[in-house]
Structure 1
């Protein structure tokens, strides 16, 4: 039986589902082994570090990922940076095929004056901070900030707005960063304005995300710039929120529709967001913080071309015979967690078709990357190392009545994983 040796780069949902599709492939005289390589010491990508802490039901998909990791032929290689610790071409020399599932970690820029002012916080920085991502570097919020403007009408924008405006005590029973929850408890932010260029009927946030705001009983919700006429579910729900009685003294969440961002005001630090409302004139929304949540782009290693949308150039997931792409790196930041399963399966089908046609050969490369990493003093975190981290976080969570207390620095994560060896096949 031939062995197909594949490296999946990226251990998020797309990477996990790509590994699953490869390991379950029913191809005569062919068995797959999969090294899932990630720059972080921890797997599961967006589910661990991107999903809002107050969405535990979404995070429960990690149970599926753990079952995938238990399949024979799966190996996690954490803490290895493709493009820095090992190059794309070096991977090509050591595996029969590569599947890039990089996600999208670079924020899209607004391209307006004032974007470099202190107090402009890209959504990815805020998300990483409250999720205890090891790349987060302290609180991104300016001290004393009282009003924030979040630019965007997608789910990430609503997550950011909700995390800033809700009572932080709601987060004590989640896996949110302990330091972030403490900082939010001390934050004087009393109003968040969600600014979108489109109307309520055309906003890209999901109805479920919007419905969740209804549980914030201590937050007043207002709508500006849209007459909320129509029977679309999102419009009707926003109309219900806007018709609630005023709550003097309550924190406020304001939706500002039909407002195009044209600049950020301030001298050294943010003092306001400049918008064109309803296509007429320029208005300034006073604020201390601006959170652009307008999308993300892929950061790909040398050897992977990107198109004008910031995703990898491909055809049906094939970059070239032997090199493939799945997930956000393939289609851009769209869909839900489950979307990646079908997407990854489609890419793997193309890969297997290339094996069947002889476009790529199976079983030619067997040396792997272990020796090369050892020469470079790169110590990967294996699956057992991740599970040691997981156990340490859960034990800490039990002591404080939380699902887990995340280790938030690279040294702490590696210390928790210490003593583990890469699991052989």
Structure 2
């Protein structure tokens, strides 16, 4: 193929950059235009990875190298579906890859979920990471008891930021407004609640151990909660369950802890589901129900026993998973929260739309770690190349076809040189505070740095 393949990628997180990398290494001549609704790239690596986990952000260095290719262009502060219609992109490019993730939280669906003091984990994570969408959220950290619904790594991050000594966060890239609020926090006790048992908790062991060894914090579990059924023992004995087995060993050491009155406390609660968030005008507590597990190994479901109990708390964070949002002009699976697809080909009822592809969480659902997106993106790019190899490739114009639309937008469109100016300014601001960077938390602040 002598003429270049024109590909648009919507979203600048890991899945988008891994797709770009795969295309650039495919051996085919290619031109890539990446679109991002924020002025800043890198998605959840920038705004989702916890500020005290700087090593996990090192993948940004790889993404920067990908962005340096002469065949790559970045267009930030552009919202696809609003500033540029999906069909307009489809007509301009040989392939359009949607890599814009799962942007909203799943709801529990119980009474009181929208009370003041009940928040999604996404809000809190975005707030302390300086995401513009969540800059002005407020959290009542004067409450002493907090409940976190969910037992995955996001729940661990929320718990750790709430309980870690503030002085240990000062050298991270946590947003300054969050650092100030956390320095005034009165949170003393955090309950991390899961509907299933310790053998099914989704923490990674490294993060769990870190949580269990925080300075000035005691983690506790009631020993009775670690009694396993034969089915759970079967799960832990399986060769694929090494992470769960390591977690269970950590839980065992936690269960031996004796709470200290002068320390903050983290308490793990298993086999419990919230059935109501109580309160008149704001959160006052949770009503939970005990569960038992039913089913075969690795497919056990939590079944309510009808044994409710109460937990008094003033703040609730819901961390039970994410879901994608519908995109105007595209089919959407409302149950799974993804774009329906076959190996990345977006379609409905088994019929691909042609030219529209998806990768990442919007393709498979919110699972895996940053690196999981690589294999996912490779599969999608393979589908693109296979489709183009079978078809008569029409003359796509790429950016030239939508240049009039882009130039007609009544706002700044951020290119790579603009992003690098924002990046340099954030690093300079951070250096003055002994931090890796001090992020701009408002879009107008970011744009003011652009040349």
Pairwise TM-score range, normalised by the shorter structure = over 0.9
- C-alpha distance in 2, partners of 1:142/1:335? 31
Q: CA deviation at 1:370?
A: 2.7
Residue in structure 2 matching 1:395, options 403, 406, 428: 428
1:140 and 2:153 equivalent? Answer: no
Contact 1:314 1:325 in 2 (8 A): yes
TM-score by length of 1: 0.94
Q: Identify the residue that residue 422 of structure 1 maps to in structure 2.
A: none
Cα distance change, pair 167–143 in 1 and its aligned pair in 2 (3 A): closer
In structure 1, the partner of 2:416 is 383
Contact 2:164 2:215 in 1 (8 A): no
Structure 2 residue aligned with 1:324, among 352, 357, 380?
357
121-130 vs 142-151, which deviates more?
Answer: 142-151
Q: For the structure 1 residues 366 and 145, does the alpha-carbon distance in structure 2 shift closer, same or farther, using more than 3 Å as the test?
A: closer
- Are 2:141 and 2:187, in contact at CA under 8 Å, matched by a contact in 1? no
Q: CA deviation at 1:245?
A: 3.6
1:164-185 CA distances to partner (integer Å, 9 max, x unpaired)?
A: 1111111101001111011011
Aligned-residue offset at 1:366: 5.6
- Does residue 384 of structure 2 align to residue 351 of structure 1? yes
CA distance in 1: counterparts of 2:176 and 2:135, whole angstroms: 14
Higher alpha-carbon deviation: 355-364 or 319-328: 355-364
Show structure 1 runs of 5+ residues with no match: 420-425
Query: 1:141-290 residue pairs with structure 2 within 5 A?
Result: 141-142=139-140, 144-224=142-222, 226-228=225-227, 232-278=245-291, 279-290=305-316
TM-score by length of 2: 0.89
Deviation at 1:397, TM superposition (A): 1.2
Of 266-275 and 367-376, deviating more is 367-376
Task: Report if aligned partners of 2:440, 2:446 keep a CA contact under 8 Å in 1.
Answer: yes
Paired with 1:228 and 1:413, the residues of 2 have a C-alpha distance of 52
Partners of 1:111 and 1:344 in 2: CA distance: 33
Deviations 1:46-80 (A, max 9, x none): 00000111111100110000000011210110000
Aligned to 2:341: 314
Corresponding residue to 2:449 among 410, 416, 419: 416
Provide, for residues 337-360 of structure 1, a one-character-per-residue CA deviation record: whole Å limited to 9, x for no partner.
Answer: 011111101100100111100065
Task: Give how far 1:284 is off.
Answer: 1.4
Residue 264 of structure 1 deviates from its aligned partner by 0.4
Deviation, structure 1 residue 246: 3.0
1:48-63 equivalences in 2 (<5 Å): 48-63=46-61
Runs of 4+ in structure 1 over 3 Å off? 228-231, 359-366
Residues 135 and 441, structure 2, Cα contact 8 Å, conserved in 1: no
Whether the 8 Å contact between 1:102 and 1:300 is mirrored in structure 2 is: no
Unaligned runs of 5+ in 2: 237-244, 292-304, 347-352
Q: Deviations over 1:181-211 (max 9, x none)?
A: 1101101111110010010111111112212
Give the superposed CA RMSD: 1.5
SS at 1:400 equivalent = coil
Provide the rounded CA distance (Å) in 2 between the counterparts of 1:76 and 1:160: 32
What's the counterpart of residue 317 of structure 2?
291
Do the aligned partners of 1:125 and 1:140 also contact (CA within 8 Å) in 2? no
Matched-pair contact (CA < 8 Å) for 2:212–2:219: no
Counterpart secondary structure, 1:60: helix
Query: Are 2:371 and 1:338 equivalent residues in the alignment?
Result: yes
Residues 1:370 and 1:379: Cα distance change in structure 2 (over 3 Å): farther
> Displacement, 1:362?
5.5
Within-5 A mapping of 1:357-376: 357-358=390-391, 361=394, 363=396, 365=398, 367-376=400-409
C-alpha displacement at 1:244, in angstroms? 2.6
Once the two structures are superposed, residues 63-109 of structure 1 have per-residue CA deviations (whole angstroms, 9 ceiling, x without a partner) of 00000001121011000011111111111122121000011111111
Counterpart in the other structure of 1:304 = 330
> Contact (CA 8 Å) 2:119, 2:317: kept in 1 or not?
yes
Q: Which moved more, 1:138-147 or 1:53-62?
A: 138-147
Distance 1:275 1:360, change over 3 A: farther
SS at match of 1:276: strand
Contact 1:5 1:95 (C-alpha < 8 Å) held by counterparts = yes
Q: 2:45: which partner in 1?
A: 47
